[in-house]
A and B are shown apart, each in its own frame.
Chain A
Amino acid sequence: MRFRLLTLRLALLAAGVAALPASAAAQRIDLSVSPLTINFPIADPDLVPLVSSTAVQITYRIRQNDGPWTMTVLALGDLISGVATVDISNVTWIATPAPPFQNGTLSKTVAQRLAGGSGSINPTATGQVTFRLANSWTYTAGLYTQTIIFTLSTP
């Protein structure tokens, strides 16, 4: 009698596991960014107080997803040229379409939300992001760079 009960309960538990949503078992996420070098051209701070970067195209697809998804961006530090730095918070962006994309300001400590939604995104969707750097006469002259990481995820 005890043995039968044990077998039955184990079977039930196994069914529960097997009853997990199929999407969780087969979620697929694709993300690409172009270009991978985002340039801010030299500009007169009086004429161009906000320097726009080359437009960045985000291409993404999320399959077999029933829950929320999030796209974030995180800088790995300030803009750097030798020993000179420009605080990364001087870089903002505007993004379309909104929603799911939203505008924001780069951070080197906390990944910032770039886009979000729920469910699958299939076929591939695209968005455009233009970064903008606050221009200034007080920056030390130089070629400044920094790495940024785009992350598309589903919890």
Chain B
Amino acid sequence: MKKAVWSGLTAFVGVLALASSVSAQTTGNINVQVNVNARAKLSIGGTGTITFADADPDVVGTFNSGPIALDVKARTPFNAPVSLTVQANGDFANGSATIDLSTLQFTVVGAGFQAGASDKDNPVTVGSWTGSGDHTGTHTYTLPNSWSYATGTYSVQLNYTLVTP
């Protein structure tokens, strides 16, 4: 009987090894911007009022306010000047009676702070610095006591100014 079947097996086997990556790396960028603007802040300790209570000049020769905290904060351009000044708004007066304003003086503690005497005509430097920073210190007012003062309540307003560019 004739065979009715053709059968053939043809096998071609080959493996193509494509080059796969041994490792992979990818990157991405983010641009960062930080805005630092000029700003200034002044903090003065206490209640905002300095009171020298009446005292016997022979006992209390000099009135002393005690230390009053100062905190000067400023962000400025690089190496820009920063100054804190104080100026009286008039005489140290009680009606028509006055006490020499220049005898109302202050001493200071803290880097950049400097002592001075009150003045109504010109701002008096309390402290000066260069560039941004946070500066803390204290200042203490003194006033000589005297038998020559006319009785009364003397007052003056001291205005502080923080100057930054």
Contact = CB atoms under 8 A, between A and B. Distances in A.
Q: How large is the interface on A (under 10, 10 to 19, 20 to 34, 35 or more residues)?
A: 10 to 19
B53 interface: no
Interface of B: 1-2, 4-6, 10, 12-18, 20-21
B13 A147 contact: yes
A11 interface: no
Given A24-B4, A27-B6, A36 B13 contact: yes
A6 interface: no
B4 A39 contact: no
A73 B10 CA distance: 15
Interface string A8-41: 0000000001000000111111001000110101
B15 A145 contact: yes
By secondary structure, the B interface counts as loop
11 contacts: A17-B1, A24-B4, A26-B4, A29-B6, A36-B14, A41-B18, A42-B20, A141-B21, A142-B20, A143-B17, A143-B20
Nearest to A24: B4
Contact of B12 (A36, A41, A42): A36
A83 to B, nearest CB: 16
